[in-house]
Every structure is written in C-alpha cells, then in structure tokens.
Chains A and B, each alone.
Chain A
C-alpha cells in the first residue's frame, strides 16, 4: 500500500494561497495522486488528480515533482467556504482490483 502523510491541520486567512503537501514515498509506477475535499456531514468531493508535473483546474493546482514521492495541492485565494478536510490519495492496484485508502487528511481552517 502506498501510504500517505499529510499535516494534521493548517490555518489560513481569506485571500491567501494555501499549499498542502502530501508525502507518498512508496508510490507505485501506475499510481495516480488524487485529492478530495470533505465538508462536515458530507461525503468527500473530488478536487483534482494528476500523475506527474503540474495539473490545474478551475479550483486548484496540483504539483508533482519528478520523483513523485510527494505532491502539493495549491488553493489560490481561499475563502471561508474552503474550510474543510483535504485528503490526498494514492491508488493501490491490489490483486484483482483497486483498493482506495484514505489517510487522516488535513483540516484547513480559513479565518476572516
């Protein structure tokens, strides 16, 4: 299993850029890196996914160095509504299937 390690929590202020780094030293060649956002009492929601280099969409950017042993989720100009838990996932191709394991996540608290 490709285990992930993230900071437990982070604080930020509205309008700032937030970078959350995830370590995944044992990432496998075929694994993709995926980030999810979870609000209280809701299921996680997909944010972004990448394999290497940089990926950008309308809500975030994902930076992955060449060795792929870590990744950084970048949230530009956060607002109060970005307060949530953010999970970094690395796909594990188990025998006959795909076992998706969530880590503890990073609690982001955005202040006014």
Chain B
C-alpha cells in the first residue's frame, strides 16, 4: 500500500523556470492538500481540493497553481520560480472533512537558485 507518493524528492530550479510537483494517492481519498515548510517553520497551506474538479486557495497560493482532474492525482505547478519558493513541499490526503487523519507524502525538497 503506497499511500501518498510525491515526485520528485529533490529538485534544483533556476529563477524563472517552471516545474510540476506530482502527488498521487491510492487510498481513494477525496480531500488532498499541498503544504510548504520553510526551514525551522511550520507548514503553510498552499492549495487544497475536496474532490476531482474542485480546488481552492490556502494561506499562501501566490506563485502556484493546481489541478485535480482525477481523485488520485493533485499536481502542484510552480510558474516562474523565485528564491522565495525554496522550501520542502508536502502533499497530504484524507478521507473526509473534520474527522480522519491526514496522510502525508515524504516531501519534495525544492531549491531555487
């Protein structure tokens, strides 16, 4: 049982480049989330989705885009990468609202130079 899978685990980008962080879950969860975590800090919610075709902004959505075409996949797109986007990105999913635990992926460490 794979759970939540993120790729890539590590990536270095140049300023202005774009890339997509992939997230896939095999638990048939409706709710999926993208967080970023800067060194020594807590997690900040970027975007979330309550089901296929539905996405909404979190606390820090600027500079990112998401899509949710299937229940399993929730990719995060970085357009015009900036040094401020250097962070560790975590994808998570959960079965339903309010109850149930969040399952996290192993994280994707992104450096923008």
Task: Enumerate chain A interface residues (CB-CB to B < 8 A).
Answer: 30-32, 34, 36, 41-46, 49, 85, 87, 91, 93-94, 96-105
For the residues of B in contact with A, the DSSP-based class is: strand
A105 to B42, CA, bound (A): 6
Q: Which 7 pairs between the two chains have the least Cβ-Cβ distance? A: A43-B104, A46-B101, A97-B50, A98-B97, A102-B43, A91-B98, A104-B42
Q: Is the CB of A45 within 8 A of B104?
A: yes
Q: Is B113 an interface residue (CB 8 A)?
A: no
Give the total number of A-B pairs whose CB atoms are below 8 A apart. 75
Count residues on chain B whose CB falls below 8 Å from chain A CBs. 30
Q: Is the CB of A32 within 8 A of B102?
A: no
Q: Is B82 an interface residue (CB 8 A)?
A: no
Residues of A within 8 A of B49 (CB): 97
Instruction: State how many angstroms separate the Cβ of B48 from the closest Cβ of chain A.
Output: 6
Instruction: State how many angstroms separate the Cβ of B104 from the closest Cβ of chain A.
Output: 3
Instruction: State how many angstroms separate the Cβ of B18 from the closest Cβ of chain A.
Output: 24
Nearest residue (CB) in A for B58 is A99
Q: Is the CB of B56 within 8 A of A36?
A: no
Q: Which of A30, A43, A104 contacts B90 (CB 8 A)?
A: A43
Q: Is the CB of A34 within 8 A of B42?
A: no
Instruction: State how many angstroms separate the Cβ of B67 from the closest Cβ of chain A.
Output: 16
Q: Which of B41, B56, B97, B104 contacts A93 (CB 8 A)?
A: B97
| Chain B contacts with A in 83-104, Cβ cutoff 8 A | 88, 90, 92, 94, 96-99, 101-104
